[in-house]
Amino acid sequence: MEINNLKQKLLNGQTVHGPFCKLQDPSVAEIAALVGFDFVILDMEHGPLSVESVQTIARAAQAKGIEVVVRVTDNRASDILRILDLGVNSIQVPQVNTATDAQMVVDASFFYPKGERGMCKYVRSASYTRIEKKEYFSSANLGTLTIVHIEGNKGLSNLEQIVSLDGIDIIFLGPYDLSQSCGYPGQTNHPEVVNKMKQAVTLAKNHNKIIGTFCESPQDVKKWCGLGVQYIAYSVDVGIIYDAFKKIINKIKQ
């Protein structure tokens, strides 16, 4: 089985960075690799990506040596299974609010004895049967990385039960949805939102869980990394391009 370099970096205590990607052009993932990002998150929840486009982008990214994470649309076993069968090892699941939700992620992501992932050897993740089935089904779990979004007060209230669950690798704190849940939609740096996120970071660290969040500035990256956040989702490809274009046109028109 191929090694999940992203998982290895995190287990080694490294901080990793990567953008969310909504664009369907594989060049974006290739460029992310060339500039030194550790991963890209292909966003099927808030973007137009299909299973077919995810497979194409994953091939390009993996050829350049960058890890691929896929944020699936929701917490359905069939959606998680299809992405894992494509050869993507890292799954990011939105709106996980309870331990039951988190257990659903584990069940869908891992083969027995850790979970109940549907079994098929005729898939890209098994190199289309090149990997002998006994080896594939016994070793695939080692490379799988699970990331769950805690995005509201309900998820925070159940966080202790969620972080106690075996099989969840990363607790991802979603500041935008959390700001809405707190009554301050879009105010991701509101003191109440930040305080709740800090409390969640402490709780997750006390249970030896890796923590992730979304940042939109280098200042935010430094702040959260200083508090022990290892998995940094930095902005979104379309926003990064927009900002770069705007800076250029503003300078041209000065």
pLDDT in tens, 59-81: 999 999 999 999 999 999 999 99
Closest CA to 172 of 181, 162, 185: 162
Report whether pLDDT(3) > 90. Answer: no
Tell me which amino acid residue 149 is: H
What single-letter amino acid sits at 110?
F
Q: Output the pLDDT for position 41.
A: 98
pLDDT over 90 for what percent of the chain? 98
Burial of 49 (0-12, 13-18, 19+ CB in 10 A): buried
What is the mean pLDDT of the segment spanning 170-181? Answer: 96
Instruction: Reply yes or no on whether the pLDDT at 176 is more than 70.
Output: yes
Residue 82, token pair as written in the block: 């299809």
H helical segments located in 173-236: 175-181, 191-206, 218-226
Q: What residues form DSSP beta bridges with 148?
A: 93, 171
Calpha distance 121→130 (Å, rounded): 9
CB count within 10 Å of CB 240 equals 17
Beta strands in the chain (DSSP E): 16-21, 39-43, 67-71, 90-93, 145-150, 170-173, 210-215, 231-236
Residue 152 has pLDDT above 90, yes or no: yes
User: Average model confidence (pLDDT) for the chain?
Assistant: 96
**pLDDT of 4-60, one tens digit each?**
999 999 999 999 999 999 999 999 999 999 999 999 999 999 999 999 999 999 999
Region 147-170 average pLDDT: 96
Predicted pLDDT of residue 126: 94
Q: CA 238 to CA 174: how far, in whole Å? A: 19
Domains in the chain, CATH or no CATH each: 5-252 (3.20.20.60)
pLDDT given for residue 1 in this prediction = 57
Res. 127: pLDDT tops 70: yes
Q: What is the pLDDT of residue 94?
A: 97
